[in-house]
Amino acid sequence: MQYLAAVEFDDGQDIDSLLEGFVHRQIAGGFRVRGVLQSREASGGQCHCSDMDLRIIGSEEVFRISQSLGSGSAGCRLHPGALADCSARVEQGIEQGADLLVLNRFGKGESEGRGFRDLISTSLAMGIPVLLAVRPTYRNAWEEFSGDYGVTLPFDEKAVVRWFGELEPAHAA
């Protein structure tokens, strides 16, 4: 069984809604789901990009993982410190018990050996399945990281449900 899965998605596909719907259905089914879901909101006007927030699943706690770099910036707006704080908070949650860890992305940070990589490894070592999303841009880095232990799923909630259900008969939801 592959306890590590990524849903591949392109621009125009609402991966955040797919993950959120799946998470809510699993929680309603009695599963202890930990992790983060992403939301975006309009920036305060200093940047052309949206702000990126991560909400801890099962709480109202939100981490803003983007930083304002000003209107002329073209660099990555990811705030590594905020992401590290968020990761530590999620790790506290999985230590209390989890049936599934859901993370918003395998992205730039993870492809460079940072971001949620340690959290993913910790969860897998604890026997906790991990679900996340990946853009085609980071597919090669994802495959290098996951190796034979991970699977890439299509953008389809039925495929996600099938993957989770195959881990144990009790996970079928």
Domain membership flag for residue 73? no
Q: What is the pTM of this model?
A: 0.86
The answer to whether residue 42 sits within a structural domain is no
Q: Is residue 71 part of a domain?
A: no
Residue 154 banded pLDDT, cuts 50, 70, 90: very high
pLDDT digit string, tens, across residues 66-109:
766 656 555 446 667 788 888 999 999 999 999 999 999 999 88
Within-domain flag for 57: no
Q: What is the mean pLDDT of the chain?
A: 87
In a domain, 64, yes or no: no
Bridge partners (DSSP) of residue 4 are 130, 150
Q: Output the CA angle 172-120-3, nearest 5 degrees.
A: 30
- Residue 62 falls inside a structural domain: no
| Tally of structural domains, the chain | 1
Question: Model confidence at 40, in pLDDT bands (50, 70, 90)?
Answer: low
CATH code for the domain of 23: 3.40.50.300
For residue 18, give its domain range: 4-37+79-171
- In this structure, is residue 155 part of a structural domain? yes
pLDDT band at 43 (very low <50, low <70, confident <90, very high): very low
In a domain, 44, yes or no: no
The CA distance from 103 to 130, in Å, is 8
